[in-house]
Structures are given as C-alpha cells and as structure tokens.
A = this chain, B = another copy of it.
Amino acid sequence: MFAALAERSISVTMISQSDSEASICVVLPEVDAARAEGAIRAAFRADLAAGLIEDVRVRPHVGIIAAVGLGMAHTTGIAGRLLTSLGDARVNVIAIAQGSSELNISVAIDGSHVDRAIEAVHRTFGLAQKDTGRDAHTGLDLLLLGGGRIARELLTQLRSRQAHIEARFGLVVRLVGVADSSGFLLEPSGLSPERIDGLVQAKASGDPIHTLPGGVRGTAAELVAAAREWRLSRPIVVDVTDANDHDRLFLSAFEAGYDVVTANKKPLAGSEASYRALQAATADGSRLLKAETTVGAGLPVVDTLEMLHATGDRLLGAFGSLSGTLAYLMAELEGGAKLSVAVERAKELGYTEPDPVADLSGVDVARKAIILGRISGLAPHAEVHLEGLVDASLAGCSHEELMATLRTLDPVFERRIAEAAERGAVLRYAARVQKDRIEVGPIEVGRSEPLGQLQGSDNLIVFTSERYSERPLVVSGPGAGVAVTAMGVLGDILRIAAERR
C-alpha cells in the first residue's frame, strides 16, 4: 500500500494500524483522496477480488489535532487528558497515533469538530495561559482578597491544615495571589512559607501590599485578571473584604473557571439581577460559590439552609438575632441601661465598628437577612422592611451628634422595653425572613421562645420548615470573631477541595 502511494507521490500524514492487524488507516490530503483510493485498489485488485481484502474506504473531511511538546516525554497522562477532553467535548475521534518519541500525539477527527476540539484542548491544557512551573495536577491555588485580621488568621489556619489537606484530598494549597485595598501581589507558582510569613507580619504592622516585594498598585479585580493569564490549578477566589463591587469580580472568576469562597456579604446582598447572575453562573455545579460565613460566621447556618433546600424541604421562616453587637445592646437595655450609655460602653469594649452607625442602622443585619431569603428561595425578591436603632443616614456623623441622637431615643427604648415586659415579652434586634417578606428591627418575642432566651452577644437562628414545623431547628453561638470566621472560610475551602479532588 505504501509503495503504491509513494509511486504516485502521495504524502501520508498519519498512519495507524492497531494490534488487530485487521485494518490499516492512513490520513492524507483530501485532494489526493481519489487518486490514493485508485492506487490502492489497483495495487490490491487481486486481493480485493479474492476477498482477502474486504474493502478500501475513503472518509472525507477529516481534521487532525496534534499535541506537540518536549514536556510530553516526561509527563504521564497527557494522552489520557487530551482524549478525555475530546470525549467530553463530544468530538468524534477517527484515529489516534502516537509514535515512540512521545513528543507528538495525533488525533484524526471529524472535520466539522475541529473548532470545538481545539477549544477543548486549549482549555484542558490552558494553552492560552502561561506555565507556572508547578505541578498543575495536585494544586489548590488561592487568590486571597483582603489583608485584614481574618485574612491573616486564615493564612495561619491554612498552614496548620496543609498536611491534613494533602492526606485527605491529595492537594497542595498554594497562595498564588493576595490583594488589599492598596494593591496586589501575584506569584503564580505560589508564595513560599517565608513570603507568607513576611506578608502576614507586614499586614499586621499596617504596611500596604503594594509596598511589599513583588507588590503592585491595583485592584482585586485586576489581580484576578492578571491571574487569568496563568495556568492555575483549581483556583479559588477567597473574598474576606467588605468591598461593594465584587459581584462582577465573582462573575469574571466564574468565567475563568474559578470557584469562589466569600465572607463578604455585599456581592450576595446586592441587586437582585446581580444575585441572579451569580446563581446562573453556578447553577450546573461546574462553578462553586460557598458563603457559609456571610451569616453567623463559623456557625452552620448557610450550609444547613442549603441542605434543607437541596433535600427538598421547604423553609417556612428564618428568624434570628444575626448581630452580636445589637444582641449585646438589647441585653444591656433589658438590664436597665440607657441606649446612649450602652452604645458608648460597646464602643469602648471594641464591640462596634469604628463608626457605630454601621451596626446601629441594622444595614449589615439586613444584608444577612437578604442572603437567607435568597439562598432558601423563600424571599428572593423581597425588599427589607428595616428599622434601625438609628437611621443609616447618620453614618459618618460626629460622636457628639450620634450621642445627641441616641439620647433622644433613650426614653423611646425605655418605654418599648417596659411595654414588652408587661406583655411577658422581651425586645430583640432580629431578622425575620418569611415568604416574600423580610423584616429587620427591634422585635418583641416571648421570653420562653428560643430567641427570648438568647444571652449576651450570641447569634441565634431559628429555622421553621415543612419538616421542622412543630419544633424548629435552632443554631446558636458566637456569630462573629476572627478565629471562627477564618475557620468558616477554611471549611468552605475544604468543601471545594473535596468536590474538586
């Protein structure tokens, strides 16, 4: 056959004869196909007539995908990944050949599948991206947004769990990028433990990231954009900032095939359209969005709600105290303190944000309530009926101005607490999520109800559902704090590691 083709100067691109020896397949230029068929039929006329050769078949419109690279010689599994990616893309594979040099594997495919084959192969091997020089098979690459206390605690916890993650999931955690409000640092092969230590120390002493070795000025979104040029392994964006505009950043991360873990409530509590876009990006499970710490920090709130939802239970209501600061204030009021005095004390104890209005306005609680309403599907479109202890418009006012306002409110709350007590009830700053309705504000609850028994600054969330209808499912405990928040974020990372293993 080869002699017959050579005689007519027909060049053969690919040859494949498998172990069965029952057929031999050559790929050659389509313009030569008819001549080649003629030549072969002529050469084997007698064999064809005698039935020794069954047939000579021509298949038109064939393309060849060839993966070429010196690195292939020492990397097992390239062929497997290549063919798996073609299979996943439903590319019709006609013939495969890989010679003993191992530097080239050729796959003849249906010509109409060439475009999607190229796309699939590029995606699988990240061919548009730069090589990090690290093993791409076992990495769990983190882009950390935020350089505050939670970020630093997370880095410490991560280091202590590295051996566990390797043993349990066979994955090596690498910090490939980190951003604060000043700039970012991108090290696609992973920051060394020494550089992470330096980073943690520098951030603890207040140095902005853009001043660190390798740091540049820029935004978190620019970090993600810069990271996309590199071939990362199971990349996860971890957001522990409180930036407003990260919904778009999350979408671009999903587009790049990244997963997202967020402690930042704002991207999930923004406009309904932006939440829907995040939902759409993650609906088929190919991208993961984990947000356990957006409500109740490390307490099992979001996962519990997602599990109720996933198993087909229908939430009837979520009712709870979602702010430790406000729980503390309400407990103080119940103990007889004036609102203005209680706020002053809370501020001194470091329980409030630097601007206490951020807590007192209830806006942060409202965000958590919106997230509960959306995740549960119970109130995806609801506006929040929000009653703050003070109005959010006071934000940024002077301490004196705030205190003056609070003093005017002192008698109001004194009266409300007393009236509640007459009815055997107590006043709690609570969020109530019901079918298409979300309320946030000081709410009277019976003393014997779970929320009425709440003590100190704990969070407490009461879930009522079709399956938990007579008696609710209740989760309570500290709903804020650096260690438990970082732990919740780490838990989300571990869930992704389990799913991406």
Interface residues of A (CB under 8 A from B): 1-3, 11-25, 57, 59, 64, 66, 68, 76-88, 90-106, 108, 157, 160-161, 164, 167-170, 283-285, 298-300, 303-304, 307-308, 310-313, 448, 450, 453, 455-458, 467-468, 470-478, 481, 483-484, 487, 490-491, 494, 498-499, 501
Are B66 and A20 neighbours in the complex by a CB distance under 8 Å? yes
By beta carbon, the residue of chain B nearest A304 is: B300
Are B94 and A23 neighbours in the complex by a CB distance under 8 Å? no
Contacts of A308 in B (CB 8 A): 487
Given contacts A17-B99, A101-B23, A285-B168, contact A77 B88 (CB under 8 A): yes
Given contacts A98-B16, A472-B477, contact A104 B22 (CB under 8 A): yes
Given contacts A161-B311, A453-B453, contact A471 B477 (CB under 8 A): yes
12 pairs, CB–CB < 8 Å, chain A vs chain B: A1-B2, A20-B66, A22-B101, A77-B86, A93-B98, A94-B100, A161-B312, A164-B312, A167-B283, A298-B468, A458-B471, A467-B487
A272 to B289, CA, bound (A): 38
Are B467 and A484 neighbours in the complex by a CB distance under 8 Å? yes
Contacts of A161 in B (CB 8 A): 310-312
A285 to B25, CA, bound (A): 43
Q: Select A16's contact among B64, B97, B170, B467, beta carbons within 8 Å.
A: B97
By beta carbon, the residue of chain B nearest A490 is: B311
Contacts of A473 in B (CB 8 A): 298-299, 475-478
Contacts of A455 in B (CB 8 A): 448
By beta carbon, the residue of chain B nearest A478 is: B471
Given contacts A15-B16, A19-B64, A475-B475, contact A96 B77 (CB under 8 A): no
Contacts of A453 in B (CB 8 A): 453
Contacts of A68 in B (CB 8 A): 20
Are A18 and B100 neighbours in the complex by a CB distance under 8 Å? no
By beta carbon, the residue of chain B nearest A82 is: B80
4 smallest beta-carbon distances between A and B, as pairs: A77-B87, A80-B84, A80-B83, A473-B477
Are A168 and B284 neighbours in the complex by a CB distance under 8 Å? yes
Contacts of A457 in B (CB 8 A): 471
By beta carbon, the residue of chain B nearest A3 is: B3
By beta carbon, the residue of chain B nearest A482 is: B467
Are A474 and B475 neighbours in the complex by a CB distance under 8 Å? yes
Are B93 and A76 neighbours in the complex by a CB distance under 8 Å? yes
A308 to B300, CA, bound (A): 10
A319 to B483, CA, bound (A): 22
Contacts of A66 in B (CB 8 A): 18-20
Are A17 and B15 neighbours in the complex by a CB distance under 8 Å? yes
A468, chain B: closest CB distance, angstroms: 6
A491 to B64, CA, bound (A): 46
Are A100 and B25 neighbours in the complex by a CB distance under 8 Å? yes
Are A97 and B17 neighbours in the complex by a CB distance under 8 Å? yes
Contacts of A491 in B (CB 8 A): 307, 310-311
A450, chain B: closest CB distance, angstroms: 8
A104 to B95, CA, bound (A): 10
Contacts of A77 in B (CB 8 A): 83-84, 86-88
Are A456 and B471 neighbours in the complex by a CB distance under 8 Å? yes
Q: Select A99's contact among B83, B95, B487, beta carbons within 8 Å.
A: B95
Given contacts A80-B85, A467-B298, A473-B299, contact A102 B97 (CB under 8 A): no
Interface centre among A22, A76, A98, A494 (most CB of B within 10 A): A98
Contacts of A304 in B (CB 8 A): 300
A83 to B81, CA, bound (A): 8
Are B76 and A20 neighbours in the complex by a CB distance under 8 Å? no
Are A494 and B80 neighbours in the complex by a CB distance under 8 Å? no
A29, chain B: closest CB distance, angstroms: 12
Interface centre among A18, A88, A284, A473 (most CB of B within 10 A): A18
A309, chain B: closest CB distance, angstroms: 9
Given contacts A14-B19, A16-B16, contact A467 B483 (CB under 8 A): yes
A86 to B91, CA, bound (A): 21
A166 to B467, CA, bound (A): 23
Are B96 and A76 neighbours in the complex by a CB distance under 8 Å? no
A427 to B312, CA, bound (A): 37
Given contacts A76-B91, A90-B76, A311-B157, contact A477 B474 (CB under 8 A): yes
Are B170 and A285 neighbours in the complex by a CB distance under 8 Å? yes
